[in-house]
Amino acid sequence: MGQITLQGVAKRFGEVEVIPPLDLTIDDGEFVVFVGPSGCGKSTLLRLIAGLEDLSGGRILIDGKDATEASPAKRGLAMVFQSYALYPHMSVRKNIAFPMKMAGVPKAEQERRIEAAAKALNLTNYLDRRPGQLSGGQRQRVAIGRAIVREPAAFLFDEPLSNLDAALRVGMRLEISELHNRLKTTMIYVTHDQVEAMTMADKIVVLQAGRIEQVGSPLELYHTPRNVFVAGFIGSPRMNLFSGAAAAEYSAQTIGVRPEHLRISATEGKWKGRVGVSEHLGSDSFFYVEDTGLAETITVRSTGEVDLHHGDTVWLTPDEGKIHRFDKNGDRI
Amino acid sequence: MARATSRNARIGWTVAAWFVALLIFFPILYTIITSLKTEQEAIAGFDLIPSFTLESFQTVQSQNNYFRPFTNSVILAVGSTLLALIVAIPAAWAMAFSPTKRTKDILMWMLSTKMMPAVAVLVPIYLIFLWTGLMDTRIGLTILLMLINLPIVVWMLYTYFREIPGEILEAARMDGATLRDEILYVLTPMAIPGIASTLLLNIILAWNEAFWTIQLTTTNAAPLSAFIASFSSPQGLFWAKLSAASVMAIAPILVLGWFSQKQLVRGLTFGAVK
Amino acid sequence: MATRQTQGLARLMRAPAIILLFVWMIVPLCMTLYYSFLNYNLLNPGMTSWAGWFNYQYFYTDPAFFEAIWNTLVLVLGVLLITVAGGIGIAMLIDKPIWGQGVVRILVISPFFVMPPVAALIWKNMIMHPSYGVFADVARFFGASPVDWFAQYPLTSIILIVAWQWLPFATLILLTSLQSLDTEQMEAAEMDGAPAHARFLYLVLPHMARAITVVILIQTIFLLGVYAEILVTTNGGPGFASTNLTFLIYRAARLNFDIGGAAAGGIIAVVLANIIAIFLMRAVGKNLD
């Protein structure tokens, strides 16, 4: 079981309010991603749940029981740190065994769980090495192994992939998703990378300045962002946002159109512009259109190969049903 | 630079470096050579080849009872260092892992106590030692040396402890380690190299201390530094014997010093140069 | 880490070191300050009386005091000059690709581990002795007459000994700093057409500036307290020619039993050391964050 409920949870460092009181429920077995720009309080929120920071207000319930004052170890949660935080003086085997040793798990049982975790994480051949002799991806797996063997109520991940190179990151992302499918344990995952959030999460929590901007499934966030911030943050490439006359036409302060919802044509359309940089990836083509009078550049994504190049005059037409409208507070209309 | 240097240039630099190094080392080398000579040879003029006699070493021991000051030096250096570590390890641990707004000020203040010239407190310390009967006792001097080096010990440990990432301690806490487990299984193994270097450097400093040891001892508690200083006047003309006593006084610390070159830089610059 | 239980425990763990150092600093210093205003002689303890500023006045009007201050300055500056200049040179030499670098390093740093009385004795008897020293042997070899170093150039001799002891320290720290110099930076400068002397002037020296500052400040603290070297070699003489402030105060306290006078001298030494300490603390403090 691993249901976590935050009630009015707040954190102040001295005079600075990092997290104003917020409420959030994480259901058992859910994969929840906290995402937001750096400094938005997502890591602090995770550390509050872990018990590594004291709350300034509110309560944390784990499986319905008040865990606000419980020490980190008593909460039954496991955490994978950004730096992996492996014990450099212990072998991989001892690293993985450490939480079980602390909990007084019998030796035979420890061995069984280590073997199982090592097999699942492809670490069997590395059990007697020290962390210093492993690659970044292997260290990452050891950190996960150390979390798995505790059989925790929930896993907490604090930007676990940020120290890996791009190729490895995609691989580890899949492994963590698979792990979740297999274990069906609650996972809370913190990242600043919206792609990680979109690909892994059952539920995304978008944070800004300690406030929850929106909670929802990846597609909910994609289709119906609640405000300009979420609209601009979720989706890659970013949503194009216009204000002024173009927005007034739709009786809104700001309108947003995703790059994939713009049609590009050399002959006709709604807005005229000129192609700046064009990127041809084969499966997709990206165009950065300038001189439209709407915004500095407008990003357009077309599927397949489109024969337009730098300097060409083009017309853009939005998909009328996919235009997002926002009022002067930035909220969705 | 990783680039290949021409062989001739390398030979040139090597010769120059060795020449300078031997020049600097020469007084020590010559003392070692002289300690292996007889008294007649020692004053017979410049000669790098001794007769390899150990007679001077035997004389120093039998006439002056070298072992008493040697034992005193060991007790004072090791004792004061261990005492300092007992006080400094918890302090440095707390400052490194639970820093407060004032931690930096406290560290700077500790450093400032090291700046106080010894001679400024010569009078009161001398009088206190007279009044309390600590004069010429090992215990008095051990405590004094501990206090003198405490700031350096705290500072060195602090810079080493700070290199242990906080996330590791948090991980241990998440893994269910109590404070005791945390210290026993995680912190101590990771801190031991730093503690060992601190120990080594502090033993060297305490061993070579030569102001207070001369001021506050006569015969009973006098370590080698005071023993050698008193050796100078009456025995001045026995070159070989003097050399033998000098060699015995510096040999152990010279060897320790060679092992702690890196830590020396760090310790004596309070972590300012690594 | 910032949980409440750890904060309380941390305070408890810091306390012993802080209290010990506080007592160690404040009690003797207050006593020194108090004695500096007393007529207090250990040979005549019954005659102790309030002296007001007399001890300070006495120091101020004593010609030996100014000689000692001057000697202290010459000693500190002389040793600094030799060790910093020599240290830079030797550090750069050791940093070159040479055979046996490890052994060269060990040889060069060795003098630092020689305790001051031994260093003084070695130089006094083995090296600088007018009849049996190596310098005398060398002088005779070239047909010159040997110099009686400690009688003719007492302060210079002591500077030489102390510089020999501290040269390894400067070398080692400057070498450490030199080795942290980015080689790509040097290669970039070479590509930019900077000749060797320009690279030294514009890259190496600025890179070492911080280490040089640290060497100067730390050595100064220790050099102000030079004592055993003087005691063993010249005993401050001839006259006061090689007496520094530390030695002068030692004389007052231990040879003249003048507690009041020595205390006043001690306070003066504290003031001097503090002026230097302020600079050192700034340099080191910057590195804390």
State mean pLDDT over A117-124.
88
The answer on pLDDT for A210 being more than 50 is yes
Distance from CA of A71 to the nearest CA of C (A): 10
Interchain pair C1, A52: CB under 8 A: yes
pLDDT for B12: 87
The answer on pLDDT for B2 being more than 50 is no
If asked whether residues A128 and A182 sit together in one domain, one would say: yes
SS3 string, chain B, reads CCCCCCHHHHHHHHHHHHHHHHHHHHHHHHHHHHHCCCHHHHCCCCCCCCCCCCHHHHHHHHHHCCHHHHHHHHHHHHHHHHHHHHHHHHHHHHHHHCCCCCHHHHHHHHHHHHCCCHHHHHHHHHHHHHHHCCCCCHHHHHHHHHHHHHHHHHHHHHHHHHCCCHHHHHHHHHCCCCHHHHHHHHHHHHHHHHHHHHHHHHHHHHHHCCCHHHHHCCCCCCCHHHHHHHHHHHHCCCHHHHHHHHHHHHHHHHHHHHHCHHHHHHHHCCCCCC
Distance from CA of C18 to the nearest CA of B (A): 8
Of A230, A258, A275, the position where a domain reaches its end is A230
SS3 for C181? coil
If asked whether residues A39 and A184 sit together in one domain, one would say: yes
Q: What is the DSSP letter of A234?
A: S
Question: Beta-carbon neighbour count of residue A220 at 10 Å?
Answer: 15
pLDDT for C285: 62
Distance from CA of B231 to the nearest CA of C (A): 9
Using alpha carbons, select from C57, C58, C41, C69 the residue that is nearest to residue C253: C41
Q: Which residues contact C57 (CB under 8 A, 6 or more apart)?
A: none
Question: Considering the domain boundaries, does residue A38 fall inside one?
Answer: yes
pLDDT in tens, chain C (289 residues): 445 666 778 888 888 888 988 988 888 888 888 888 887 777 777 777 777 787 788 877 888 888 888 999 899 999 999 999 999 999 989 888 888 888 898 899 899 999 998 998 889 888 888 877 888 888 888 888 888 888 888 999 999 999 999 999 899 889 888 888 877 777 777 777 777 888 888 888 888 888 888 888 888 888 888 888 888 888 887 878 888 888 888 888 787 777 888 888 888 888 888 887 777 667 666 654 4
Q: What is the DSSP letter of A321?
A: G
What confidence tens digit (pLDDT) does each residue in B54-81 have? 777 887 777 767 788 888 899 999 999 9
Of A201, A230, A259, the position where a domain reaches its end is A230
Interchain pair A87, B186: CB under 8 A: yes
State mean pLDDT over B199-219.
86
Question: Considering the domain boundaries, does residue A151 fall inside one?
Answer: yes
Question: Considering the domain boundaries, does residue B92 fall inside one?
Answer: yes
Interchain pair A52, C4: CB under 8 A: no
Give the DSSP per-residue string, A168-222: HHHHHHHHHHHHHHHH--EEEEEES-HHHHHHH-SEEEEEETTEEEEEE-HHHHH
State mean pLDDT over B120-148.
87
Question: Considering the domain boundaries, does residue B66 fall inside one?
Answer: yes
Q: How confident is the model at residue B5 (pLDDT cuts 50, 70, 90)?
A: low
Residue B95 identity: M
Radius of gyration of chain A (CA): 24
Distance from CA of A278 to the nearest CA of B (A): 43
Question: Considering the domain boundaries, does residue A332 fall inside one?
Answer: no
Question: Considering the domain boundaries, does residue B122 fall inside one?
Answer: yes
Helix axis angle, B122-132 relative to B138-162, nearest 10°?
130
Question: Considering the domain boundaries, does residue B143 fall inside one?
Answer: yes
Domain count, chain A: 2
SS3 for A130? coil
Percentage with pLDDT > 90 across chain B: 11
H/E stretch holding A62 reads strand A57-62
Q: How confident is the model at residue A207 (pLDDT cuts 50, 70, 90)?
A: very high
Question: Considering the domain boundaries, does residue B208 fall inside one?
Answer: yes
The answer on pLDDT for B272 being more than 80 is no
Contact C283, C214 (CB under 8 A): yes
Q: Domains of chain C: which residue ranges?
A: 62-288
Distance from CA of A168 to the nearest CA of B (A): 23
pLDDT for A186: 93
Residues of chain C in contact with residue A85, where contact means CB-CB under 8 angstroms, are none
SS3 for A255? strand
Kindly identify which residue of chain A lies nearest to residue C2, measuring between CA atoms: A53
What confidence tens digit (pLDDT) does each residue in A54-80 have? 888 889 999 888 888 888 888 888 889
Contact A36, A42 (CB under 8 A): yes
Q: Which residues contact A120 (CB under 8 A, 6 or more apart)?
A: A148, A179, A182
Contact B134, B215 (CB under 8 A): no
Interchain pair A53, C3: CB under 8 A: yes
The answer to whether A89 contacts chain B (CB < 8 Å) is yes
Distance CA A318, CA A257 (A): 7
If asked whether residues A211 and A249 sit together in one domain, one would say: no
Provide the mean pLDDT of chain A. 89
pLDDT for C289: 45
The answer on pLDDT for B4 being more than 60 is no
Q: What is the CATH number of the domain that holds A93?
A: 3.40.50.300
Contact A241, A316 (CB under 8 A): no
Distance CA B78, CA B238 (A): 31
pLDDT for C1: 44
Q: What is the CATH number of the domain that holds B185?
A: 1.10.3720.10
Interchain pair B175, A99: CB under 8 A: yes
Distance CA A176, CA A200 (A): 8
Residues of chain A in contact with residue B170, where contact means CB-CB under 8 angstroms, are 50, 52, 72, 79, 81, 85
Interchain pair C1, A54: CB under 8 A: no
pLDDT for C284: 61
Question: Considering the domain boundaries, does residue B5 fall inside one?
Answer: no
Question: Considering the domain boundaries, does residue A331 fall inside one?
Answer: no
If asked whether residues A146 and A294 sit together in one domain, one would say: no
A227 or C285: which carries more pLDDT confidence?
A: A227
Distance CA A143, CA A82 (A): 10
Q: Which residues contact A129 (CB under 8 A, 6 or more apart)?
A: A91, A92
If asked whether residues A246 and A280 sit together in one domain, one would say: yes
pLDDT for B50: 76
If asked whether residues A49 and A177 sit together in one domain, one would say: yes
If asked whether residues A204 and A244 sit together in one domain, one would say: no
Q: Which of B163, B175, B182 to mutate to test the interface with A (most CBs of A within 10 A)?
A: B175
Interchain pair A85, B168: CB under 8 A: yes
Range of the domain at B95: 60-268
Q: How confident is the model at residue A39 (pLDDT cuts 50, 70, 90)?
A: confident
User: Scanning the structure block, which residue is given the tokens 């507070």?
Assistant: A329
The answer to whether B168 contacts chain A (CB < 8 Å) is yes
The answer on pLDDT for B42 being more than 70 is yes
What confidence tens digit (pLDDT) does each residue in A166-197 have? 888 888 899 899 999 998 999 999 999 888 99
Kindly identify which residue of chain A lies nearest to residue C1, measuring between CA atoms: A52
Using alpha carbons, select from A246, C77, C121, A299 the residue that is nearest to residue B233: C121
| Cα distance between the two ends of chain A | 39
* CA atoms within 13 A of residue B206's CA, in its CB half-sphere: 31
Range of the domain at A40: 4-230
Q: How confident is the model at residue B1 (pLDDT cuts 50, 70, 90)?
A: very low
Question: Considering the domain boundaries, does residue A297 fall inside one?
Answer: yes
If asked whether residues A187 and A171 sit together in one domain, one would say: yes
3-state percent breakdown (helix, strand, coil) of chain C, nearest 5: 75, 0, 20
Distance from CA of A84 to the nearest CA of B (A): 8
Question: Considering the domain boundaries, does residue B210 fall inside one?
Answer: yes
pLDDT for C163: 95
The answer to whether A16 contacts chain C (CB < 8 Å) is no
If asked whether residues A258 and A213 sit together in one domain, one would say: no
If asked whether residues A213 and A257 sit together in one domain, one would say: no
The answer to whether C13 contacts chain A (CB < 8 Å) is no
Distance CA B27, CA C124 (A): 11
Domain count, chain B: 1
Distance CA C53, CA A197 (A): 77
* CA atoms within 13 A of residue C63's CA, in its CB half-sphere: 3
If asked whether residues A249 and A221 sit together in one domain, one would say: no
The answer on pLDDT for A328 being more than 60 is yes
Residues of chain A in contact with residue C3, where contact means CB-CB under 8 angstroms, are 51-54
Which other chains touch chain A, taking contact as 3+ CB pairs less than 8 Å apart? B, C
Q: What is the CATH number of the domain that holds A315?
A: 2.40.50.140
Range C62-288 classified under CATH 3.60.21.10: no
The answer to whether B177 contacts chain A (CB < 8 Å) is yes
If asked whether residues A112 and A214 sit together in one domain, one would say: yes
Provide the mean pLDDT of chain B. 83
